[in-house]
Amino acid sequence: MHARRHLDSPLGYQLALIALMLLSFLGILPKAKALILYSGDNAANTDATGTGKETIFNSVARVCYASGSGTSGSAVSISGKYLLTANHVSLNNRYVTFDGTIFYKIDPEFASIKIEEADCKLFKLIEDPNLPDTLFYTQINTESNKNTTLIGWGRGRDPNQANQTGNARTWNWGDNSTIQKRWGTNRIASVQLQEADTGYNYNYHSLKTNLDSNNGNNEAGLGLFDSGSGLFIKEDGIWKLAGIATLVSTNESSTFSGSIFSRDSNTYVQLSQYRETIQSHIPDTSTYLGWLVDHSLYETESDYQSDTDNDGMPQILEYAFQTNPNEAEPERAPYYYIDSTNSEDYFNYALIRPSSLNGGVSYSVLTSTNLHDWQNTQSNISLINSIENTDGTITEVYRRTLPLADSPQGYIRLQISLD
Protein backbone atom coordinates (compact mmCIF):
# COMPACT_ATOMS: atom_id res chain seq x y z
CA MET A 1 0.00 0.00 0.00
CA HIS A 2 1.03 3.62 -0.39
CA ALA A 3 0.74 5.54 2.87
CA ARG A 4 -0.30 9.12 3.45
CA ARG A 5 2.56 11.30 4.61
CA HIS A 6 2.89 11.33 8.35
CA LEU A 7 6.68 11.18 8.68
CA ASP A 8 8.70 14.10 9.95
CA SER A 9 10.04 15.31 6.61
CA PRO A 10 9.33 15.03 2.87
CA LEU A 11 12.72 13.33 2.46
CA GLY A 12 11.77 10.67 4.99
CA TYR A 13 8.54 10.06 3.13
CA GLN A 14 10.37 9.62 -0.18
CA LEU A 15 12.73 7.11 1.40
CA ALA A 16 9.79 5.17 2.78
CA LEU A 17 8.24 4.95 -0.70
CA ILE A 18 11.53 3.74 -2.17
CA ALA A 19 11.70 1.03 0.47
CA LEU A 20 8.21 -0.13 -0.43
CA MET A 21 9.08 -0.27 -4.13
CA LEU A 22 12.14 -2.38 -3.40
CA LEU A 23 10.07 -4.77 -1.34
CA SER A 24 7.72 -5.37 -4.26
CA PHE A 25 10.47 -7.06 -6.26
CA LEU A 26 11.24 -9.73 -3.70
CA GLY A 27 10.12 -13.30 -4.41
CA ILE A 28 7.33 -14.99 -2.49
CA LEU A 29 7.06 -18.38 -0.86
CA PRO A 30 4.18 -20.85 -1.33
CA LYS A 31 1.34 -21.26 1.14
CA ALA A 32 1.53 -17.62 2.27
CA LYS A 33 -1.14 -15.52 3.99
CA ALA A 34 -2.83 -12.09 3.61
CA LEU A 35 -4.69 -9.08 5.13
CA ILE A 36 -4.20 -8.11 8.78
CA LEU A 37 -6.85 -9.56 11.06
CA TYR A 38 -7.57 -8.37 14.58
CA SER A 39 -7.02 -11.94 15.76
CA GLY A 40 -3.51 -11.87 14.29
CA ASP A 41 -4.17 -15.36 12.92
CA ASN A 42 -2.43 -15.75 9.56
CA ALA A 43 -4.15 -19.10 9.02
CA ALA A 44 -7.67 -17.65 9.23
CA ASN A 45 -10.10 -16.69 6.45
CA THR A 46 -8.03 -18.00 3.53
CA ASP A 47 -11.04 -19.94 2.22
CA ALA A 48 -14.52 -18.48 1.76
CA THR A 49 -16.27 -21.83 1.42
CA GLY A 50 -19.54 -21.85 3.34
CA THR A 51 -19.52 -18.10 4.05
CA GLY A 52 -21.71 -17.00 1.13
CA LYS A 53 -18.75 -14.95 -0.10
CA GLU A 54 -17.35 -17.50 -2.52
CA THR A 55 -18.11 -15.52 -5.69
CA ILE A 56 -16.50 -12.29 -4.56
CA PHE A 57 -13.60 -14.18 -2.98
CA ASN A 58 -12.92 -15.84 -6.33
CA SER A 59 -13.02 -12.46 -8.10
CA VAL A 60 -9.94 -11.06 -6.33
CA ALA A 61 -6.54 -11.64 -7.92
CA ARG A 62 -2.88 -11.14 -7.11
CA VAL A 63 -0.79 -9.15 -9.61
CA CYS A 64 2.61 -10.80 -10.03
CA TYR A 65 4.97 -12.47 -12.50
CA ALA A 66 4.16 -15.80 -14.13
CA SER A 67 6.49 -17.47 -11.64
CA GLY A 68 4.42 -16.15 -8.72
CA SER A 69 7.17 -13.73 -7.68
CA GLY A 70 7.20 -9.94 -8.02
CA THR A 71 3.84 -9.26 -6.38
CA SER A 72 2.84 -5.63 -6.96
CA GLY A 73 -0.72 -5.56 -5.65
CA SER A 74 -4.23 -6.99 -5.85
CA ALA A 75 -7.01 -6.60 -8.42
CA VAL A 76 -10.72 -7.35 -8.82
CA SER A 77 -12.30 -9.00 -11.86
CA ILE A 78 -15.37 -7.02 -12.90
CA SER A 79 -16.36 -8.40 -16.31
CA GLY A 80 -14.80 -10.95 -18.64
CA LYS A 81 -11.16 -10.07 -19.20
CA TYR A 82 -11.37 -6.70 -17.40
CA LEU A 83 -10.14 -5.94 -13.89
CA LEU A 84 -9.76 -2.96 -11.60
CA THR A 85 -6.79 -2.15 -9.43
CA ALA A 86 -5.21 0.91 -7.83
CA ASN A 87 -3.52 3.16 -10.39
CA HIS A 88 -0.21 3.01 -8.51
CA VAL A 89 0.00 -0.80 -8.83
CA SER A 90 2.58 -1.81 -11.45
CA LEU A 91 1.33 -4.03 -14.30
CA ASN A 92 4.57 -4.21 -16.30
CA ASN A 93 5.31 -7.74 -17.59
CA ARG A 94 2.91 -9.18 -15.07
CA TYR A 95 0.15 -11.72 -14.78
CA VAL A 96 -2.73 -12.22 -12.37
CA THR A 97 -3.70 -15.33 -10.44
CA PHE A 98 -6.97 -15.94 -8.65
CA ASP A 99 -5.94 -19.20 -7.01
CA GLY A 100 -2.14 -19.14 -6.93
CA THR A 101 -1.99 -21.93 -9.51
CA ILE A 102 -3.29 -20.62 -12.84
CA PHE A 103 -1.74 -17.40 -14.18
CA TYR A 104 -3.34 -15.10 -16.77
CA LYS A 105 -1.17 -12.69 -18.75
CA ILE A 106 -2.05 -9.01 -18.68
CA ASP A 107 -2.54 -7.67 -22.21
CA PRO A 108 0.54 -5.45 -22.79
CA GLU A 109 -1.04 -3.80 -25.85
CA PHE A 110 -4.11 -2.62 -23.93
CA ALA A 111 -3.09 0.62 -22.26
CA SER A 112 -4.58 0.60 -18.77
CA ILE A 113 -7.19 3.33 -18.33
CA LYS A 114 -6.94 5.66 -15.36
CA ILE A 115 -10.38 6.38 -13.93
CA GLU A 116 -10.76 10.16 -13.85
CA GLU A 117 -8.54 11.60 -11.06
CA ALA A 118 -8.86 8.56 -8.81
CA ASP A 119 -6.15 6.10 -7.80
CA CYS A 120 -7.90 3.45 -9.87
CA LYS A 121 -7.41 1.95 -13.31
CA LEU A 122 -8.98 -0.59 -15.63
CA PHE A 123 -6.81 -3.20 -17.30
CA LYS A 124 -7.30 -6.27 -19.45
CA LEU A 125 -6.16 -9.87 -19.65
CA ILE A 126 -5.42 -11.73 -22.88
CA GLU A 127 -7.46 -14.76 -21.83
CA ASP A 128 -10.86 -14.76 -20.15
CA PRO A 129 -10.78 -16.34 -16.64
CA ASN A 130 -14.51 -17.08 -17.08
CA LEU A 131 -15.65 -15.64 -13.77
CA PRO A 132 -19.13 -14.24 -13.10
CA ASP A 133 -19.45 -10.48 -13.57
CA THR A 134 -18.97 -8.50 -10.36
CA LEU A 135 -21.81 -6.10 -9.63
CA PHE A 136 -21.13 -2.56 -8.45
CA TYR A 137 -22.71 -0.94 -5.43
CA THR A 138 -24.62 1.96 -7.03
CA GLN A 139 -26.21 3.96 -4.18
CA ILE A 140 -23.96 7.03 -4.15
CA ASN A 141 -23.10 8.43 -0.70
CA THR A 142 -25.10 5.83 1.20
CA GLU A 143 -22.06 3.77 2.13
CA SER A 144 -21.44 5.21 5.60
CA ASN A 145 -22.00 2.75 8.48
CA LYS A 146 -22.43 -0.16 6.07
CA ASN A 147 -20.83 -3.45 7.11
CA THR A 148 -18.37 -4.67 4.51
CA THR A 149 -16.18 -7.57 3.48
CA LEU A 150 -12.56 -6.89 2.52
CA ILE A 151 -10.79 -9.31 0.19
CA GLY A 152 -7.14 -8.78 -0.61
CA TRP A 153 -3.96 -10.60 -1.46
CA GLY A 154 -1.34 -8.70 0.52
CA ARG A 155 0.88 -9.42 3.47
CA GLY A 156 -0.32 -10.77 6.78
CA ARG A 157 1.05 -10.03 10.25
CA ASP A 158 4.64 -10.78 11.18
CA PRO A 159 4.53 -14.39 12.48
CA ASN A 160 7.67 -13.73 14.54
CA GLN A 161 5.92 -11.04 16.58
CA ALA A 162 4.71 -12.13 20.01
CA ASN A 163 0.98 -12.82 20.19
CA GLN A 164 -1.17 -10.14 21.77
CA THR A 165 -4.26 -10.76 23.88
CA GLY A 166 -5.12 -7.27 25.04
CA ASN A 167 -8.02 -5.25 23.69
CA ALA A 168 -5.96 -2.78 21.64
CA ARG A 169 -3.47 -4.52 19.36
CA THR A 170 -0.78 -3.47 16.92
CA TRP A 171 0.35 -6.09 14.42
CA ASN A 172 3.56 -5.63 12.46
CA TRP A 173 3.37 -6.56 8.79
CA GLY A 174 5.06 -9.79 7.80
CA ASP A 175 7.40 -10.46 4.90
CA ASN A 176 6.56 -11.96 1.51
CA SER A 177 6.07 -15.38 3.07
CA THR A 178 2.79 -14.04 4.50
CA ILE A 179 1.18 -13.19 1.13
CA GLN A 180 -2.07 -14.93 0.17
CA LYS A 181 -5.72 -14.14 -0.39
CA ARG A 182 -7.80 -13.60 2.73
CA TRP A 183 -11.16 -12.07 3.61
CA GLY A 184 -12.02 -9.90 6.61
CA THR A 185 -14.71 -7.48 7.77
CA ASN A 186 -14.97 -3.80 8.64
CA ARG A 187 -17.47 -0.95 8.72
CA ILE A 188 -17.34 2.14 6.52
CA ALA A 189 -16.74 5.07 8.84
CA SER A 190 -17.18 7.91 6.36
CA VAL A 191 -17.51 9.05 2.76
CA GLN A 192 -15.22 11.95 1.87
CA LEU A 193 -12.87 13.46 -0.68
CA GLN A 194 -9.31 12.17 -0.73
CA GLU A 195 -7.22 15.15 -1.70
CA ALA A 196 -3.78 15.11 -3.31
CA ASP A 197 -0.93 14.82 -0.84
CA THR A 198 2.84 14.98 -1.15
CA GLY A 199 3.96 11.99 -3.22
CA TYR A 200 0.37 10.90 -3.84
CA ASN A 201 -1.30 13.12 -6.42
CA TYR A 202 -4.84 11.81 -6.65
CA ASN A 203 -8.12 13.60 -5.94
CA TYR A 204 -11.12 11.32 -5.63
CA HIS A 205 -14.25 10.36 -3.78
CA SER A 206 -13.30 7.85 -1.12
CA LEU A 207 -14.55 5.49 1.55
CA LYS A 208 -12.79 5.31 4.93
CA THR A 209 -12.64 2.40 7.34
CA ASN A 210 -11.14 2.35 10.84
CA LEU A 211 -9.42 -0.59 12.52
CA ASP A 212 -11.58 -1.20 15.56
CA SER A 213 -10.76 -3.48 18.51
CA ASN A 214 -14.42 -4.06 19.38
CA ASN A 215 -15.68 -5.89 16.29
CA GLY A 216 -14.36 -9.41 16.65
CA ASN A 217 -11.52 -11.49 15.27
CA ASN A 218 -12.51 -10.96 11.61
CA GLU A 219 -12.04 -7.17 11.81
CA ALA A 220 -9.47 -6.46 9.11
CA GLY A 221 -7.05 -3.85 7.87
CA LEU A 222 -4.93 -3.57 4.74
CA GLY A 223 -1.28 -4.52 4.40
CA LEU A 224 1.38 -4.17 1.73
CA PHE A 225 0.16 -5.45 -1.69
CA ASP A 226 -3.51 -5.11 -0.72
CA SER A 227 -3.60 -2.03 -2.98
CA GLY A 228 -6.21 -2.76 -5.65
CA SER A 229 -8.15 -5.19 -3.48
CA GLY A 230 -11.93 -5.06 -3.11
CA LEU A 231 -14.34 -3.72 -0.51
CA PHE A 232 -17.81 -5.28 -0.83
CA ILE A 233 -21.24 -4.30 0.53
CA LYS A 234 -24.09 -6.79 0.72
CA GLU A 235 -27.27 -5.39 -0.83
CA ASP A 236 -30.49 -7.38 -1.28
CA GLY A 237 -28.58 -10.55 -0.53
CA ILE A 238 -25.87 -9.89 -3.15
CA TRP A 239 -22.30 -8.82 -2.45
CA LYS A 240 -21.42 -5.78 -4.57
CA LEU A 241 -18.11 -4.05 -5.18
CA ALA A 242 -18.05 -0.69 -3.40
CA GLY A 243 -14.37 0.22 -3.20
CA ILE A 244 -10.83 -0.37 -4.48
CA ALA A 245 -8.14 -0.21 -1.78
CA THR A 246 -5.57 2.58 -2.12
CA LEU A 247 -4.16 3.90 1.18
CA VAL A 248 -3.26 3.08 4.74
CA SER A 249 -2.59 5.67 7.43
CA THR A 250 0.48 3.86 8.82
CA ASN A 251 3.19 1.86 7.09
CA GLU A 252 4.57 -1.44 8.34
CA SER A 253 1.96 -2.01 11.06
CA SER A 254 -1.78 -2.00 11.75
CA THR A 255 -3.22 -0.73 15.03
CA PHE A 256 -6.64 -1.93 16.18
CA SER A 257 -7.99 0.28 18.95
CA GLY A 258 -11.26 1.63 20.27
CA SER A 259 -9.76 5.09 20.48
CA ILE A 260 -10.11 7.26 17.37
CA PHE A 261 -6.77 8.84 18.24
CA SER A 262 -4.74 5.64 18.10
CA ARG A 263 -6.41 3.31 15.60
CA ASP A 264 -5.35 3.19 11.96
CA SER A 265 -7.59 3.88 8.98
CA ASN A 266 -7.77 2.65 5.39
CA THR A 267 -8.94 4.41 2.21
CA TYR A 268 -10.78 3.06 -0.84
CA VAL A 269 -11.94 4.61 -4.10
CA GLN A 270 -15.72 5.13 -3.85
CA LEU A 271 -16.80 3.19 -6.94
CA SER A 272 -20.43 4.32 -6.87
CA GLN A 273 -19.07 7.69 -8.06
CA TYR A 274 -17.09 6.18 -10.95
CA ARG A 275 -19.14 3.16 -12.01
CA GLU A 276 -20.45 4.68 -15.23
CA THR A 277 -17.00 5.89 -16.25
CA ILE A 278 -15.54 2.44 -15.63
CA GLN A 279 -18.24 0.66 -17.59
CA SER A 280 -17.92 3.10 -20.50
CA HIS A 281 -14.30 2.01 -20.96
CA ILE A 282 -15.11 -1.70 -21.31
CA PRO A 283 -15.22 -2.40 -25.06
CA ASP A 284 -18.60 -3.29 -26.54
CA THR A 285 -17.96 -6.73 -28.01
CA SER A 286 -21.14 -6.52 -30.08
CA THR A 287 -19.23 -4.10 -32.34
CA TYR A 288 -16.34 -5.17 -34.53
CA LEU A 289 -13.90 -2.64 -33.02
CA GLY A 290 -14.81 -3.66 -29.47
CA TRP A 291 -14.51 -7.33 -30.40
CA LEU A 292 -11.02 -6.73 -31.80
CA VAL A 293 -9.83 -5.11 -28.58
CA ASP A 294 -11.44 -7.80 -26.43
CA HIS A 295 -9.52 -10.45 -28.39
CA SER A 296 -6.24 -8.50 -28.29
CA LEU A 297 -6.18 -7.97 -32.06
CA TYR A 298 -4.25 -4.83 -32.93
CA GLU A 299 -2.66 -3.25 -36.01
CA THR A 300 -2.37 -5.77 -38.89
CA GLU A 301 -4.15 -8.47 -36.88
CA SER A 302 -7.27 -6.29 -36.87
CA ASP A 303 -7.64 -6.42 -40.65
CA TYR A 304 -10.86 -8.04 -41.87
CA GLN A 305 -8.93 -10.67 -43.84
CA SER A 306 -6.28 -11.46 -41.22
CA ASP A 307 -6.33 -15.02 -39.87
CA THR A 308 -4.28 -15.04 -36.66
CA ASP A 309 -5.02 -18.67 -35.75
CA ASN A 310 -4.61 -20.01 -39.31
CA ASP A 311 -7.84 -21.99 -39.25
CA GLY A 312 -9.10 -20.67 -42.58
CA MET A 313 -11.54 -18.22 -41.02
CA PRO A 314 -10.63 -14.51 -41.44
CA GLN A 315 -11.34 -12.07 -38.62
CA ILE A 316 -14.58 -10.82 -40.14
CA LEU A 317 -15.96 -14.37 -40.21
CA GLU A 318 -14.70 -15.11 -36.68
CA TYR A 319 -16.53 -11.99 -35.49
CA ALA A 320 -19.73 -12.73 -37.38
CA PHE A 321 -19.89 -16.34 -36.20
CA GLN A 322 -18.57 -15.59 -32.69
CA THR A 323 -15.63 -17.96 -32.81
CA ASN A 324 -12.26 -17.43 -31.12
CA PRO A 325 -9.80 -15.73 -33.51
CA ASN A 326 -6.86 -16.80 -31.32
CA GLU A 327 -7.72 -20.50 -31.13
CA ALA A 328 -7.94 -22.61 -34.28
CA GLU A 329 -11.40 -24.09 -34.80
CA PRO A 330 -11.26 -25.56 -38.32
CA GLU A 331 -14.41 -27.52 -37.61
CA ARG A 332 -16.32 -24.23 -37.50
CA ALA A 333 -15.17 -23.08 -40.95
CA PRO A 334 -17.72 -23.27 -43.81
CA TYR A 335 -17.14 -26.21 -46.15
CA TYR A 336 -18.19 -27.50 -49.59
CA TYR A 337 -19.26 -30.97 -50.63
CA ILE A 338 -21.06 -32.86 -53.39
CA ASP A 339 -24.39 -34.43 -52.45
CA SER A 340 -26.56 -36.77 -54.48
CA THR A 341 -30.35 -36.50 -54.56
CA ASN A 342 -32.58 -38.51 -56.91
CA SER A 343 -29.50 -39.68 -58.82
CA GLU A 344 -28.41 -36.08 -59.41
CA ASP A 345 -25.22 -34.55 -57.94
CA TYR A 346 -25.40 -31.09 -56.40
CA PHE A 347 -22.86 -28.60 -55.11
CA ASN A 348 -23.61 -27.91 -51.41
CA TYR A 349 -22.23 -25.36 -48.97
CA ALA A 350 -22.53 -25.76 -45.18
CA LEU A 351 -21.88 -23.23 -42.42
CA ILE A 352 -22.26 -23.14 -38.66
CA ARG A 353 -23.45 -19.88 -37.17
CA PRO A 354 -24.63 -18.78 -33.71
CA SER A 355 -28.38 -18.78 -33.23
CA SER A 356 -28.17 -15.05 -32.48
CA LEU A 357 -25.72 -13.03 -34.55
CA ASN A 358 -23.78 -10.03 -33.29
CA GLY A 359 -25.65 -6.77 -33.79
CA GLY A 360 -25.17 -5.26 -37.22
CA VAL A 361 -24.05 -8.55 -38.81
CA SER A 362 -25.81 -9.95 -41.87
CA TYR A 363 -24.67 -12.51 -44.40
CA SER A 364 -25.58 -13.94 -47.78
CA VAL A 365 -24.56 -17.11 -49.59
CA LEU A 366 -23.96 -16.30 -53.27
CA THR A 367 -23.28 -18.39 -56.35
CA SER A 368 -21.67 -17.70 -59.71
CA THR A 369 -20.62 -19.50 -62.85
CA ASN A 370 -17.91 -17.01 -63.84
CA LEU A 371 -16.59 -15.44 -60.58
CA HIS A 372 -17.92 -12.12 -61.82
CA ASP A 373 -21.72 -12.19 -61.60
CA TRP A 374 -23.01 -13.38 -58.21
CA GLN A 375 -26.62 -14.22 -57.33
CA ASN A 376 -28.53 -15.44 -54.29
CA THR A 377 -32.01 -15.94 -55.72
CA GLN A 378 -33.98 -19.15 -55.27
CA SER A 379 -33.43 -19.95 -58.94
CA ASN A 380 -29.67 -20.02 -58.29
CA ILE A 381 -29.11 -21.13 -54.68
CA SER A 382 -31.37 -22.09 -51.80
CA LEU A 383 -31.28 -23.07 -48.13
CA ILE A 384 -32.17 -26.76 -48.01
CA ASN A 385 -31.53 -27.59 -44.36
CA SER A 386 -31.25 -25.82 -41.01
CA ILE A 387 -30.40 -27.77 -37.84
CA GLU A 388 -30.30 -26.34 -34.32
CA ASN A 389 -27.33 -27.75 -32.41
CA THR A 390 -27.13 -28.30 -28.65
CA ASP A 391 -24.29 -25.77 -28.26
CA GLY A 392 -26.47 -22.83 -29.35
CA THR A 393 -25.34 -22.86 -32.98
CA ILE A 394 -27.25 -23.59 -36.17
CA THR A 395 -25.91 -25.63 -39.09
CA GLU A 396 -27.25 -24.37 -42.44
CA VAL A 397 -26.83 -26.13 -45.77
CA TYR A 398 -27.15 -24.21 -49.04
CA ARG A 399 -27.33 -25.81 -52.52
CA ARG A 400 -26.78 -24.57 -56.04
CA THR A 401 -30.16 -25.12 -57.66
CA LEU A 402 -28.91 -26.71 -60.87
CA PRO A 403 -27.34 -30.19 -60.67
CA LEU A 404 -23.72 -30.56 -61.75
CA ALA A 405 -24.77 -32.27 -64.97
CA ASP A 406 -26.64 -29.11 -66.05
CA SER A 407 -24.10 -26.62 -64.68
CA PRO A 408 -20.62 -28.19 -64.59
CA GLN A 409 -18.94 -24.91 -63.59
CA GLY A 410 -20.07 -23.18 -60.41
CA TYR A 411 -18.80 -21.31 -57.37
CA ILE A 412 -20.20 -20.42 -53.96
CA ARG A 413 -19.06 -17.70 -51.59
CA LEU A 414 -20.15 -16.26 -48.25
CA GLN A 415 -20.61 -12.51 -48.04
CA ILE A 416 -20.53 -10.88 -44.55
CA SER A 417 -21.87 -7.34 -44.06
CA LEU A 418 -21.52 -5.03 -41.07
CA ASP A 419 -23.93 -2.14 -40.61
Using DSSP bridges, classify how beta strands 230-235 and 253-256 pair: parallel, antiparallel or unpaired: unpaired
- How does DSSP classify residue 377? S
- Residue 196, sorted as left (phi over 0), alpha (psi -120 to 50) or beta, turns out to be beta
Top CATH class of 334-418 equals mainly beta
Could you read off the pLDDT of 229-242 as tens digits, one per residue? Answer: 999 999 999 999 99
**pTM of the full predicted structure?**
0.86
Rg of the chain (C-alpha set): 28
Residue 204, CA distances (Å) to 119, 210, 290 in order: 8, 19, 28
The b/e string for 236-263 (b: 16+ C-beta within 10 A; e otherwise) is: eeebbbbbbbbbbbbbebbbbbeeeeeb
* Average pLDDT, integer, range 321-334: 94
> Which residues make up the CATH 2.40.10.120 domain(s) of the chain?
2-277
Q: Indicate whether 244 pLDDT > 90.
A: yes
Q: pLDDT class for 408, splitting at 50, 70, 90?
A: confident
CATH number of 2-277: 2.40.10.120
Domain with CATH 2.60.40 in the chain: 334-418
Using CA atoms of 42, 222, 258, 189 in order, give the dihedral in degrees to the nearest 10.
-140
pLDDT digits 0-9 by tens, 151-195: 999 999 999 999 999 999 999 999 999 999 999 999 999 999 998
Q: Where are the alpha helices (DSSP H) in 143-215?
A: none
